[in-house]
Structure 1
Amino acid sequence: MKKWKYLTMTAALGSALLLGACGSETDEDATNANDATETAESGDAQLTGTVAGDGSSTVSPITEALVEEYAGVQPDVQVSVGVSGTGGGFEKFIAGETDFSNASRPIKDEEKAELEKAGIDYTEFQVAFDGLTVVVNPENDWATELTVDQLKKLWVEDGTTKKWSDIDPSWPDEEIVYYSPGTDSGTYDYFDEVILEGADLENAATLSEDDNVLVQGVASDKNAIGFFGYAYYLENQDKLTAVTVDGVAPTNETIESGEYTPLSRPLFVYAKNSALKENEAFYDFMKYTLENAGEMAEAVGYVKLPDEKYEEGLKTLEGLK
């Protein structure tokens, strides 16, 4: 569902047609014009260097889109981004292996303490909103409208093998099949906080850091239920049904307004301050991220922040240079 590719191709085609129409323009003029355009787009001279990140699979689609577009602006900067989950990303960030860490939850106190112990100063930047989306198989026509209390009853481990009829006697007397993000995932942590409230997740759940595994699992079993980021639902809505929570469906509007509560949440990038100061390529990539994260978030299925939040982030970034 990489809509940004379409936009880039359209722009490139338009540029090609324009150059073709200007028959009097020499090759040298065209080259100079292209160079000027590239410099104007980047706002700086061409850079070289490497940038490394890791973290949340939920934030990953936004970052992947940004990396792909940034390569057209700064082709000599190599940006690599792993997807080991929010917790796994913070582990690498603490170990000094990455310049930035994507997160689908705020950093934990123990992670802050580890970073302080390692002498790593960092800055938190918000990049988008997400609505953690609960999904069922399209053949499931009984559990499409759930309450927070029912979600808790469904997902909290209670030592029994649960059937749908245990949640509501009018539902099928069939065993529930669970799919959940792995324990290193910020999505897991967020669900744990707002739904489980610290209780153990259903032991029977299949856990995976790969959201595509969860999508396929729910899509292939009429008794399955799972949860993950809103973008992954949008990308697969032809084979999944999104559950309403306390009568509210996840949409761009309900997620941005906070009406889709308690499953609306901000998404973050945590940047290493020393890397921003010492690595010009990283600073430039973070600047590009904050300037374009809203557009890219919308392109891949998330919800952009108010413009003033990105402007606030850019001012904070400028103060770190």
Structure 2
Amino acid sequence: MAPSHDADANSITRRKSLAALAGAGALAVAGCTSDSGGDGSDGSDGSDGSDGSDGSDGSDGGSETLSGDIRISGSSTVYPVAQEVTRQFAEQNPDVGFNLTRDGSGGGFENVFIPGDSDMNNASRPIQDDELQRCRDNGIEPVEFFLAQDALTVVVNNEADFIDSISLEDLKTIWSPDTAPEMWSDVNSDWPDEPFDLYGPASTSGTYDYFTETVIGETEADQPIREDFEGTEEDDLIAQGVQGNEYAFGYLPFAYYVNNPDSVKALSLIEGGSDPVEPSLEGAKSGNYPLARPLFTYGHMGKIQEKNHLQEFIEYYINESDEDYIANDIGYVPANDQMVEDNLAALEEAIAGDYEYSA
């Protein structure tokens, strides 16, 4: 059973016990990152290296220097965090290689993690029941680590001075396949008689999954969202698309907005009869912002048990998740002490082979 998020927040001594379990050694690694789909562009064949392809037998063999490969697939939302943490880890351990890709949460699970080709899969929403079952059918127990929080942001063009906020009801109307209005004025007569130009994440994205479930919900059509939008796994391309058309409309992770605040305009959200709430880290942390959501990474328990350098990296990842740069430089709410301790407890259980995922 996964540890509860209500565990004792003062059990900092777990960090030391984990170091003993995982073995002594510097908490670091090196290698390359990639935007590709994990086709071996890191110089390997995309495998986990346990067949000796990294020059070893897949373990660290008691060596003082960490070595081996780590394959991380999944979410483009979580990607900036993983990119920075792997960069830091790489500076310290040049003999550990990374293949880090943006496949989307669902795409990463489907095409890389569930087949057993990655050690970790980043996700901007919880693992789904069918994904969990397919993992277990393949002998994989996914280990969940809750790393940060996001304020999913709805954006329009900077010239769209006719709108500063939008209700969740109107947001659903715009994006639902059951309604699919063509013009802004079809939704609100005060808005322009101009066609929508829509941008959003691709269907392989966890952001897409979260948005369709949270905003749109059940539909009568045979698809979860209208199909006439520009979908991509590159969140910065969503911002660029909205920037290029006065009547464009899209949604993207807060980090991609806050790091380019002059390129597009963020809308405040109205839920029920509430006052408009603008996207912010404070709103995501408190839950006051309607589209606040958790961010995760999932580890392959079998590979965590087998690969000491993976154990060390995940411990490093967890301990970095509460650092200020997660908010200041990337744009997400960092983990709190309780989350760090829960994640370390999950890692400890995974190393011992005692972890079992529970939603």
2:277 paired with 1:277:
no
Q: Which residue identity lines up with residue 194 of structure 1 in the other structure? A: T
How many correspondences in the alignment? 281
| Structure 1: stretches of 5+ with no match in the other structure | 1-38
261, 280, 286: which one pairs with 1:237?
A: 261
- Percent of pairs with identical residues: 37
Q: Determine the C-alpha separation between the residues in 2 that align with 1:203 and 1:122.
A: 32
Partner of 1:212: 236
Does structure 1 retain, via aligned residues, the 8 Å contact 2:154–2:266? yes
Matches within 5 A, 1:1-321: 45-91=64-110, 92-158=112-178, 161-199=181-219, 200-246=224-270, 247-261=276-290, 263-295=291-323, 296-298=325-327, 299-321=329-351
Q: Determine the C-alpha separation between the residues in 2 that align with 1:102 and 1:312.
A: 17
Residues 40 and 112 from structure 1, CA distance in 2 versus in 1: closer, same or farther, beyond 3 angstroms? closer
Q: Determine the C-alpha separation between the residues in 1 that align with 2:280 and 2:256.
A: 13
Instruction: Give how far 1:139 is off.
Output: 0.3
In terms of Rg, which structure is larger? 1
Does structure 1 retain, via aligned residues, the 8 Å contact 2:173–2:179? no
Q: Could you give the per-residue CA deviations for residues 256-300 of structure 1, whole angstroms, max 9, x where no partner exists?
A: 000001x11000000011111110111111000000022242231
Q: Which has the higher helix share?
A: 1
Instruction: Give how far 1:304 is off.
Output: 0.8
Instruction: Give how far 1:215 is off.
Output: 1.0
Q: Determine the C-alpha separation between the residues in 2 that align with 1:79 and 1:41.
A: 14
Q: Could you give the per-residue CA deviations for residues 53-79 of structure 1, whole angstroms, max 9, x where no partner exists?
A: 100000000000001111122121112
- Root-mean-square deviation (Å): 1.5
Instruction: Give how far 1:186 is off.
Output: 0.3
Q: Determine the C-alpha separation between the residues in 2 that align with 1:53 and 1:41.
A: 17
Instruction: Give how far 1:319 is off.
Output: 2.7
Q: Which residue identity lines up with residue 75 of structure 2 in the other structure? A: S
Q: Could you give the per-residue CA deviations for residues 97-127 of structure 1, whole angstroms, max 9, x where no partner exists?
A: 0001000011111111111111111210011
Partner of 2:57: none
Does structure 1 retain, via aligned residues, the 8 Å contact 2:27–2:312? no
Q: Which residue identity lines up with residue 69 of structure 1 in the other structure? A: Q
Q: Which residue identity lines up with residue 290 of structure 1 in the other structure? A: I
Could you tell me the TM-score, scaled by structure 2's length?
0.76
Q: Which residue identity lines up with residue 46 of structure 1 in the other structure? A: T
Q: Determine the C-alpha separation between the residues in 1 that align with 2:141 and 2:192.
A: 53
